[in-house]
A and B are shown apart, each in its own frame.
Chain A
Amino acid sequence: MDRNQLMKWIKTPTKMAHKYSLNAVYFCTGCGIIEVPPTITTRWDAERFGVVATATPRHANLFLITGYVSVKTLRAIIRTYEQMPEPKYTVGFGSCTINGGMYWDSYNTINQLDKYIPVDGYIAGCMPRPEAIFIAVTHLWTLIDKDMADGYKRYRKNYGAYRANQEMVLGELEWPPLFPTEIHTNTGEGETDATAATPTMTEREKDDELA
């Protein structure tokens, strides 16, 4: 570890800790999941980069949205995303999350993921290779360092708009809003009030799902 890294650890320990322990939520949202098992096993070994798969979203801080998002999956994605504690990072994996990819004219896939939840970065391609995941992860480090991976802050800030978009496609959502839906000026302080932003624990049935 060079001197520079050491200084970073001393100055911004939380940031460094987030950077090097990215716990990806185990959710196969689309066909991109096919490249995740090779990535987390011996050949490519994502643990070198601090990326491990985590069973429950409540322990995770990285959400890899692997591929196309159908309307039915979008509901599950939003619920999963809202259960993740802050700070949390979202990476859209594959072309389908950017503009719909091959399924641009499908009646059942949403085309642009970032209209519904904030996305910190995209990996282009179909199918992106495992190396592309590592490039994305290292790029995400840079973004975290520079405080630019602020998707969760934007989600909180623009929650009203996000929620409105979600309801436009999904109809009325059956769970209560995570944040007050009117736009408020307090943008949140990131890590320091992460606990305050934990999702409300009203989602009992979701807990059953994770049992």
Chain B
Amino acid sequence: MRELELYFGPQHLGMVGNFSITLNVEGDRILKATANPGYLHRGFEKLMEGRTWIKNFPMVCRINVVEPDHMEMVYAMGVEKLAGIEVPERAQFVRSIYLELARVGSHLFGLWAYANMLGFDTVANWAMYHRDLVLDLFEELTGGRVYHIYIWPGGVRRDFPEGFTDRMVETLHSIGGCVPDYDSTFFNNTLFSERAKGIGVVSREEAVAMGGTGQAIRATGMKYDVRKVDPYAAYDKVAWEVHTREDADAYSRIWIVRDEMIESVHMIFNLIDAMPEGEVYNRIPNPLKWRIPAGETYVRCESSRGELGLYLVSDGGEKPYRVHFRTPSYSHGLTILEKALVGANIADVGNIMISLYVVAPEIDR
């Protein structure tokens, strides 16, 4: 059969985000896939070199629109480490709760994308509706639906408002009450398992060789989670588990998403119970004239896609000298995706891509 070149994206219904893959296909089978990123390249790291440390907080969250909160967190961690700022204990808990809430929102968005792509419109609508309820919480807390800029060096911008935790628990309960519905309609549905089992297998060796993290590595049975391996915020203060699966396919990865979401909700409840009283931020020097001692650091946190790292260099000036984000989608979307697509059907491109949780702006930055 004749070999054809097929452009998949950027304007394509099966493509989530502004991303493009060039597929070499024979009939319906993919022989070779070439990822073609760069549609969203804004040169963030260059722009950040031209802005002061504090001015970069509105910038970083825009790198990954699906979960801006982890971006804020990793940048704040880097700045705190270089400047030697301590974070009060309560702020650590507030940060953890906030990040787990963001993880739930991000996973619901991922579930929307995945269900939508498989044609489960009802589930997709539910997921998006439930994500909106989470966004309402964020809006109450920070004033913004999508970009929050809540985490600052030295803590968080403000404490939880009066009664916020109760409302949060109520919302999470109402979402959690729908888990049986999700399970019966989607996760235990034969259509889902038929479409996803054995699709997009990334073995442990491949995942390790290509820097896979997050669901990509946990679907191979490895309990690798930065929150456990290199704990930050308040993740070592409460008990929780890392969820893994063994089959390394799209089915396993989406199940991990579901399990993680439930785990996050439980973790939020535990964190609320264990949260101490106190201040939520330590004062930092005048941010407009803030100089950070020269040095370099690499900090990392676990975003909902995998390891999110930041390599930050300061030359002692008012602005960062070099900022480099290690984003999980970078390895998932370029090397692993190119590998996983070979031999798959055209219809499964979106399936594999979304189950790997590839978000284009993270790759391009």
**Known contacts A68-B42, A103-B42: A42-B128 contact under CB 8 Å:** yes
Is B145 touching A76 in the complex (CB atoms < 8 A)?
no
Q: Does B333 contact A (CB under 8 A)?
A: no
A33-91 contacts to B (CB < 8 Å): 33-35, 37-38, 41-44, 55-57, 68, 70, 72-73, 76, 80
Q: Does B211 contact A (CB under 8 A)?
A: no
Q: Does A211 contact B (CB under 8 A)?
A: yes
Is B12 touching A209 in the complex (CB atoms < 8 A)?
yes
**Chain A nearest CB: distance from B288 CB in Å?**
19
**Known contacts A27-B10, A43-B128, A73-B10: A105-B40 contact under CB 8 Å:** no
Is B42 touching A109 in the complex (CB atoms < 8 A)?
yes
Identify the stretch in B43-51, B86-94, B267-275, B297-305 within 8 Å (CB) of chain A at 4 or more residues: B43-51
**Chain A nearest CB: distance from B97 CB in Å?**
22
Q: Sort chain A's interface into a size bin.
A: 35 or more
**Chain A nearest CB: distance from B255 CB in Å?**
22
Q: How far is the CA of A76 from the CA of B18 in the complex (A)?
A: 10
Q: Does A15 contact B (CB under 8 A)?
A: no
Is A209 touching B42 in the complex (CB atoms < 8 A)?
no
Q: Does B290 contact A (CB under 8 A)?
A: no
B124 contacts which chain A residues (CB < 8 A)? 41
Residue of A nearest to B130 (CB): A43
Q: Does A154 contact B (CB under 8 A)?
A: no
Q: How far is the CA of A138 from the CA of B361 in the complex (A)?
A: 30
**Known contacts A55-B13, A102-B62: A70-B7 contact under CB 8 Å:** no
**Chain A nearest CB: distance from B205 CB in Å?**
33
A68 contacts which chain B residues (CB < 8 A)? 40, 42
Among candidates B13, B18, B47, B128, residue contacting A73 with C-beta atoms closer than 8 Å: B18
Most chain-B Cβ atoms within 10 A of its Cβ — which of A28, A76, A107? A28
Is A105 touching B47 in the complex (CB atoms < 8 A)?
yes
Is B6 touching A57 in the complex (CB atoms < 8 A)?
no
Q: How many residues of B contact A (CB 8 A)?
A: 45
Q: How far is the CA of A99 from the CA of B364 in the complex (A)?
A: 21
User: How many A-B pairs with Cβ below 8 Å?
Assistant: 109
Is A127 touching B50 in the complex (CB atoms < 8 A)?
no
Is B41 touching A108 in the complex (CB atoms < 8 A)?
yes
A109 contacts which chain B residues (CB < 8 A)? 42
A108 contacts which chain B residues (CB < 8 A)? 41-43
A211 contacts which chain B residues (CB < 8 A)? 6
Is B39 touching A73 in the complex (CB atoms < 8 A)?
yes
Q: How far is the CA of A42 from the CA of B124 in the complex (A)?
A: 10
**Chain A nearest CB: distance from B13 CB in Å?**
4
A31 contacts which chain B residues (CB < 8 A)? 40, 62, 65, 361
A73 contacts which chain B residues (CB < 8 A)? 10, 18, 39-40
**Chain A nearest CB: distance from B43 CB in Å?**
5
Among candidates A38, A56, A205, residue contacting B7 with C-beta atoms closer than 8 Å: A205
A197-211 contacts to B (CB < 8 Å): 205, 208-211
**Known contacts A55-B13, A127-B145: A37-B109 contact under CB 8 Å:** yes
**20 A-B contacts, Cβ less than 8 Å apart?**
A28-B360, A34-B66, A35-B145, A38-B131, A38-B132, A42-B125, A42-B126, A42-B129, A68-B42, A72-B38, A72-B39, A73-B10, A73-B40, A106-B46, A106-B47, A109-B42, A127-B147, A208-B7, A209-B12, A211-B6
Interface set of B (CB-CB < 8 Å, partner A): 4-13, 15-18, 38-43, 46-47, 50, 58-59, 62, 65-66, 109, 112, 124-126, 128-129, 131-132, 135, 144-147, 360-361, 364
Interface set of A (CB-CB < 8 Å, partner B): 25-31, 33-35, 37-38, 41-44, 55-57, 68, 70, 72-73, 76, 80, 102-103, 105-109, 126-127, 129, 205, 208-211
Name 12 extra pairs, CB < 8 A, besides A103-B42, A107-B46: A29-B18, A30-B18, A31-B361, A41-B125, A42-B129, A55-B13, A72-B38, A72-B41, A76-B18, A102-B59, A105-B50, A106-B47
